[in-house]
Amino acid sequence: MIEEASYPSLSGRTALVTGAAGGIGQAICQRLAGQGVTLYAGDLKQVSIPTLDGLISLELDVTSTEDWAAAAERIRADGRVLDILVNNAGIYAPASLENETGDGFRRLTDINQFGVFWGMKSAAPLMPEGGAIVNLSSIGGMVGYNGTFGYAASKWAVRGMTRSAARELAPRRIRVNSICPGVIDTPMFYENDPAQLATFRETVPLGNLGKPEDIANAVAFLASDEAGYITGTDLLVDGGMLA
């Protein structure tokens, strides 16, 4: 059960969350819904979160411009504007420079980078009265790690796009920030080899893996008016790993 933080400025707003079917995405949906947000939940398959009534499920492949156009049209057809976009969808698929393939690198770029780009491009016209965009990057987008070459490239790109978009969209009162999770207890973490898993665990100063709810709490803050003077920045949620 997620304990609700008090962010009253979210009540009555509308959000689109990508990669919403599980893990961090599902936790984000639960957090925002708990604050009174109307949710459009996008993923490759129909999203069903039993505890959330009124969730609007979208089949959304973030690499598909057609899917993004359909999502935007659905929001317009429902007579809504968009207040919050959370670009959460992503993949890990760790591989070293020497072992990465062209197809693997392109897939990481398509999902982790292009998906964020097209999400922001699609969402901005739906935010005529301002809004908040939160992009999921990673500590792997801030420092180098062995064996995550393509992933790191895509997550560094997310941070760069976030800052550029923050400057471009600031006159329209659209804030754009990124969250950089550390090691979070989701299936993605266990894609690492066992030795790397142990190393990651040992290097968290707080001594434990993060929970999806830790990222959801950060999203709720950045989406709220309490973060109204914050844009173009990276919020680390990493248990002190990069301290």
- Contacts with 158 (C-beta within 8 Å, 6 or more apart), sequence order: 87, 112, 113, 116, 135, 136, 137, 141, 178
From residue 128, how far is each of 32, 118, 133 by CA, in Å? Answer: 21, 18, 13
Contact 33, 39 (CB under 8 A): yes
Give catalytic residues, as residue numbers: 151
For 73-88, give one letter per residue: b (16+ CB within 10 A) or e.
Answer: ebbeeeeeebbbbbbb
Q: Which two tokens stand for residue 239?
A: 């248990």
